[in-house]
Amino acid sequence: MADDTFPDIVYTTVDEAPELASASLLPIIQAFAKPAGVTFGTRDISLAGRIIATFPDYLTDDQKISDDLAALGEWVKTPEANVIKLPNISASVPQLVAAVKELQSQGYALPDYPEEPATDEEKDVRARYDTIKGSAVNPVLREGNSDRRAAIAVKKFAQSNPHRMGEWTADSKTRVAAMSGDDFFSNEVSATLGSAATAKIVLTTKSGEEIVLKEGVSYPAGTVVDATFMSAKALDSFLEAEIEKTKAEGVLFSLHMKATMMKVSDPIIFGHAVKAWLKPVFEQYGDKMKALGVNPNSGLGDLLARVKDDAEIMAAIEAVTAERPPMYMVNSDKGITNLHVPSDVIIDASMPALIRGGGKGWGPSGEEADTNCVIPDNSYAPVYDATIEFFKANGKLNPATAGTVQNIGLMAQKAEEYGSHPTTFEIPEDGTVTMVLDDGTVLHSHTVEAGDIWRSASARKAPIEDWVNLAIERQKDTGFRAIFWLDANRAHDAELIKYVTPILESAGVADKFEIMAPREATIASLETITKGESTIAITGNVLRDYLTDLFPILELATSAKMLSIVKLMQGGGLFETGAGGSAPKHVQQLVEENHLRWDSLGEFCALGESLKFLASAKNNAKAKVLGEAVDVATQGILDDNRSPSRKVGEPDNRDSHYWFARYWAEALAAQGDDAELAAHFAPIAEALAAKEAEITGELAAAQGKPADLGGYYHGDAAKTAAVMRPSAALNAILG
């Protein structure tokens, strides 16, 4: 059990490649921080850790752990908070189930995840597991708005060493397909509350029965409250039409969703796509497949695993697949399709990668081909559509000359958490859904049909005002073109504009900002960076998530190297280290070849900012020296090309950590602001340089054979440390 006290800086325990890298990097950080009187500790927000913490009543005393996420959620509301947050798994149901099975195999007597809970106990278990699914961590920790941008050193390096971009041609058949109506975008209504209120969400069926979907949803005064729904019938018609259009066009079919962050809505939409793809099979064998436990929301991979022993169904699937267009693949060699697992194709990673590659996706035979990118909801599909059309007309972006797009994102206090919260529902019967305030006022109302997906989200007044003021501060600091990505014709955005305009006018800076709908803002931003100039995208939560992958991947080849600072509203700081979308592939390579290609540059950037923030917050001059030396070390990693290679036998993540420690020690030994620190680190720097051949030799010798971590979601700490710290010489120097 963790104690209730916090160190100076919390370094989060997470999952997959970032956590493996931590086993190598964190001991270095702790060794360097100790002479400066800075304490680093960990708190577990990993998927396995959250599962264990959620079910103490099923576990032995020595298996129980504290709820670190809940504790951190309270700490980030204090001025003392200083958190370096690595990317954690936002679990889809298949990931959650896999993690539970692994923990059970390790002796944790956890209950199975109930797909269709029937008893009160099963309903309780399901409710507890549902709190872990999807983007369960970020809304708890993000008690501030987001300031994301490429660090100056990273941007300069990308311009001096431009990455490869795929060629775009005007005749490319790649396109984006979105619904033309009856989606979340077209059905949205929004209102700003004049006073504090509590609401309930009620479905009144055609027979007059009232089903309370949710009650006790409280909002402070000034909250923008939205409601909308997607028609299941319209979705099915759209998907079926796009499958046929894709076949006629001779391109790949691909679906791009966010089944992790949008943990309720998007898995359902994903399931509709699986059913549309195999429509004749579901029509003929639907009852039989249901009896086998098939849930299309879990993906084609789970479906195939459940029906593999039924030759008749398998033959029907093969027959239908032969008539379908070729599908965009996650792994052509292993036959893993776009529709296999809901969490395999995440829109904010998949679409930028496809665009960077010239609009090409990988087909079933491993060939590249143009692609129909299906993004059903029209809320943000225009961003990707506009990007693709821009590159068709103008050719690929040149990273050597491109400017940059920074982002100020509204996300504090669960702002705009579409689909990630308990106010999203799959409607069980035809009827009317209403949001009713405690005084009887009907705030929103929609006529719905069985199977429709209804959702509500909100953004509170204080975070909105903080967001606008953060944008004003960033524009003043940079002088960059600044655009609020808000659509005056969209209900939610229109309510936000009512906040934005008066604040800008009151500050006397209205002439420094533009307000554009996402499609127009995308074009304007691409035009700006193509000219070598820079802009600030001021966006809501979902666009923050999408754009801080899209533009960094185009500019830098990755979003893992972004500087991501969350200025917590109570005065603390949260420093995020980049995206983890490729982490599963990295782990697979490590297990097979003992080579970890994860790049910790995001961790380096966050570390420097966290230390400098601590120096200011706690008047710790030594922390400032440490932080500034981190910046020097990071620059050294870039200048000397010490980042990990993708290939086994070449330097990997562990080598980059050796070089980071060496550059950091050399910078500390050379600085003149703190003689005590300089004297402490001089012999360390000398030893790291003198032992270079021995250390790099030991690191190289570890590669090329399988690595045993003791688990994927819940690895063995000692085994992981042995894998990630194989250099006895380096370990001895660190002490």
- Strand partners for 217: 199
The predicted model gives 389-395 an average pLDDT of 98
Residue 727, token pair as written in the block: 């250099």
Number of residues that this document lists for the chain: 735
Query: Rounded to 5 degrees, what are φ and ψ at 729?
Result: -65, -45
What is each CA distance from 75 to 39, 70, 71, 448, in whole angstroms? 16, 9, 6, 41
What's the pLDDT score for residue 138?
84
**Domain contains 371:** yes
Rounded to whole angstroms, the Cα distance separating 431 from 449 reads 6
Q: Beta strands 405-409 and 144-150: pairing type?
A: antiparallel
Q: What gap in Å lies between CA 395 and CA 397, rounded to an integer?
A: 7
Whether 319 is covered by a domain: the verdict is yes
- Residue range 72-95: mean pLDDT, rounded: 92
Q: Quick one: pLDDT band at residue 417, thresholds 50, 70, 90?
A: confident
Q: Report the chain's C-alpha Rg in angstroms.
A: 26
- Residue 177 CA to residue 166 CA, distance in Å, equals 21
Using a pLDDT cut of 70, give the percent of the chain over it: 98
pLDDT at 583: 74
Residue 303 inside a domain? The answer is: yes
What pLDDT, on a 0 to 100 scale, did the predictor assign at position 421?
A: 67
In a domain, 674, yes or no: no
Alpha carbons 157 and 298: distance in angstroms, whole number: 41
Predicted confidence (pLDDT) per residue in 630-688, tens digit: 999 999 999 999 999 999 999 999 999 999 999 999 999 999 999 999 999 999 999 99
**Total domains present in the chain:** 1
Give pLDDT, residue 309. Answer: 96
Give percent of the chain with pLDDT exceeding 90: 90
Q: Report the distance separating Cα 492 and Cα 417, nearest Å.
A: 13
Q: In which band, very low, low, confident or very high, does the pLDDT at 388 lie, cut at 50, 70 and 90? A: very high
Calculate the alpha carbon distances from 415 to 198, 224, 461, 483, 571 in Å.
17, 9, 10, 19, 19
Residue 598 lies in a domain: no
In the predicted structure, residue 4 carries a pLDDT above the cut 80: no
- Region of residue 578 (left: phi > 0; alpha: psi -120 to 50; beta: else): left
Residue 496's pLDDT is 98
Residue 266 is assigned to a structural domain of this protein = yes
What per-residue confidence (pLDDT) applies to 2?
Answer: 40
pLDDT in tens, 563-599: 889 999 999 999 998 766 567 889 999 999 999 999 9
DSSP, residue by residue, 392-445: HHH----TTT---EEEEE--GGGTT-TTSSTTEEE--SSEEEEEEETTS-EEEE
Look up the domain containing 240 and give its range. Answer: 231-377+387-399
CA angle 443, 449, 454 (to 5 degrees): 45
Asked if residue 293 is part of any domain, the answer here is yes
Residue-wise pLDDT tens digits, 123-169 = 999 999 999 987 789 889 989 999 999 988 889 889 999 999 999 99
- Our CA dihedral for 471, 477, 482, 484, rounded to 10 degrees, sits at 0
Q: Collect all residues with Cβ–Cβ distance below 8 Å to 525 and sequence separation of at least 6.
A: 405, 483, 535, 537, 551
Please state, in angstroms and rounded to a whole number, the distance separating the CA atoms of residues 244 and 44.
47
**Residue 105: strand pairing partners:** none
Tokens of 514: 């533009």
Residue 366 located in a structural domain: yes
pLDDT of residue 420: 57
Torsion angles phi and psi, residue 356, rounded to 5:
-60, -35
pLDDT tens digits for range 167-222: 999 999 999 999 999 999 999 999 999 999 999 999 999 999 999 999 999 999 99
| Element spanning 538, H or E | strand 535-539
